[in-house]
Amino acid sequence: MDTRVPKVRVSNISKQFTVWVEDKEQVIRALDNVSFSVNAGEIVALAGTSGCGKTTMLRILMGLEQASSGTVEIDGNKVNGPGFDRGMIFQHAGLLPWRSALENVEYGLEVKKIPKQQRREAAQHYLELVGLKDFMHHRPNQLSGGMQQRVGIARALAIDPEVLLMDEPFGALDAQTRESMQEELLRIQQQTTKTILFVTHDLDEAVLLADKVLVLFPGPGRIHEIVDIHIPHPRTDTIAVRGSEEFNQKRYHIWKTLKTASTLQANPIPAEVR
């Protein structure tokens, strides 16, 4: 029996939202009995059709949303709200426009009450790590979308979280910038060995980056399958990875699975034969 405590343990998470539509109460079952665990240093992708609960799962992990039932543990400690052991990165970096890149990265450290000198050094270190050594004093509007996203990653890394949660982190970037950011993330993960969970609609991205892909189905949101990706690290030679049999087989398998799910959604099986 494996007695190691996983870095992240999600146990039987369900989440319902109650909404009012045209004066009628509706219950949306965003997540139903979701369980999985993630070991330290693993990268896990959440993939699935729109509305299957990916963002809700990430928000519960971050402590921004409370589950209706079930638990989330980090290193065996129950999550009850946001904490410095987790850092979140969104599709848009959401930088403070009046602050330089350096001051934006320092912001989280101010909140964490890190002394001035120490936070300046940490912010410089993480901006260098994401390749922005020469842009530390630029304001967000003087940076490209990819650079802004890198500042967002540096900001999340600077608080030294145990777990990085990324919600479609590269979704707003053009294809070329996106590819270079994926390579950056692989490089940063090699250096920092952070545990990462990320949401993506891009199956290439899921298989390229992740050690396992959680394939979610909607209505109610649930894990249909957990697909292990056996591509060895480091995966920095992304051309070789994308050309490998494992990459293409797993990508095709996940694509086919999700295609079946969306066909079922469009043509639901009649209740009497379900």
Residues in the site for ligand ATP, rule: CB under 6 A?
A: 17, 19, 28, 30, 48, 50-56, 221
**CB closer to ligand ATP, 39 vs 91:** 91
Q: Are 149 and 171 in contact (CB under 8 A)?
A: no
**CB closer to ligand ATP, 124 vs 149:** 149
- Categorise residue 136: left if φ over 0, alpha if ψ from -120 to 50, beta otherwise: alpha
**CB closer to ligand ATP, 54 vs 150:** 54
Least distance in Å: CB of 54 to ligand ATP? 4
Least distance in Å: CB of 29 to ligand ATP? 8
Least distance in Å: CB of 55 to ligand ATP? 3
**CB closer to ligand ATP, 147 vs 213:** 213
**CB closer to ligand ATP, 87 vs 221:** 221
Secondary structure (DSSP) of 2-65: --PPPSEEEEEEEEEEEEEETTEEEEEEEEEEEEEEE-TT-EEEEEESTTSSHHHHHHHHHTSS
Q: Are 49 and 221 in contact (CB under 8 A)?
A: no
222-228 β-sheet, strand order: 86-89, 163-167, 195-199, 43-48, 212-217, 222-228
Least distance in Å: CB of 48 to ligand ATP? 6
Q: Is 249 strand, coil or helix? A: helix
Least distance in Å: CB of 218 to ligand ATP? 7
Least distance in Å: CB of 215 to ligand ATP? 12
Rounded (10°) angle between helices 145-158 and 101-111: 30
Q: Are 241 and 231 in contact (CB under 8 A)?
A: yes
**CB closer to ligand ATP, 13 vs 186:** 13
Q: Are 22 and 15 in contact (CB under 8 A)?
A: no
Looking up tokens 């797993």, which residue turns up? 250
